[in-house]
Amino acid sequence: MNEEQKKEAIKKLFDVVVKPTDSDSWLDEARAYHEEVRTFAKNAPTLTDPEKKKFFDKFLYKKNGTAGLGQSASFSEENRPDIKKTTEIFSGLLGLLREKDVDEDKARDVCAQMRKDYYAAIKDRKPAAIVNRAIASVLPQLVSAAVKERDFFQAYDWFSENGYVDARTDDDWYRWNIVLMKFLKGCLGDRADVDVYKISHFVWRVHELVDG
């Protein structure tokens, strides 16, 4: 397929798998939660530690509008960094919301450092889905809400195997999200009925179809 054929094929697939009947509720929740995160980032310097703890409990460990985590977040509170350390670790990521246009390379560096610092601060394991969901909650324009790496790679590999994107050479969730989201936005971005949240949902729906 040439690039124009790929674009038309993606549009047709999108219309088949992203239907208003199964997506509107999720999309509303995702958009609302992103605004909740943005509001916290704006007001964080004036908030108390209990207020910050309430935010980070939802941002990292409980159900929120970006994606579910299942068992990924089920480790004891004593193994988590305290609120002061948590605020410090995620300050760079949340700070990206204060920028009008997020630089992709800067965001990559911020996310890599945040992942390293969070993994170093917890005591029992490296829950990648927690970190990935935090990134997706802040940067929905860059990464999808398929935060569990197995789920995302199922979708990415389907697009790759069908000739839409290059085959991945490693398991870097962030890197290949950037590639896939950029490709899909190039195919769907000229449609008034599509935004980054619908594209994110599209990635998830493809995973569901492949998994099924």
pLDDT at 189: 85
Average pLDDT, the chain: 91
pLDDT at 77: 80
Asked if 66 contacts 147 with a C-beta cutoff of 8 angstroms, the reply is yes
pLDDT at 137: 97
Is a pLDDT exceeding 80 seen at residue 67?
yes
212: three-class secondary structure by DSSP: coil
d(CA 37, CA 83): 16
User: To the nearest 10°, the Cα dihedral for 73, 37, 44, 58?
Assistant: -30
pLDDT digits (tens, 9 = 90+) for 156-169: 999 999 999 999 99
- Tokens 């704006």 map to which residue? 42
Q: Is 48 exposed, middle or buried (0-12, 13-18, 19+ CB in 10 A)?
A: exposed
Given pLDDT bands bounded at 50, 70 and 90, which one contains residue 5?
A: very high
pLDDT at 23: 62
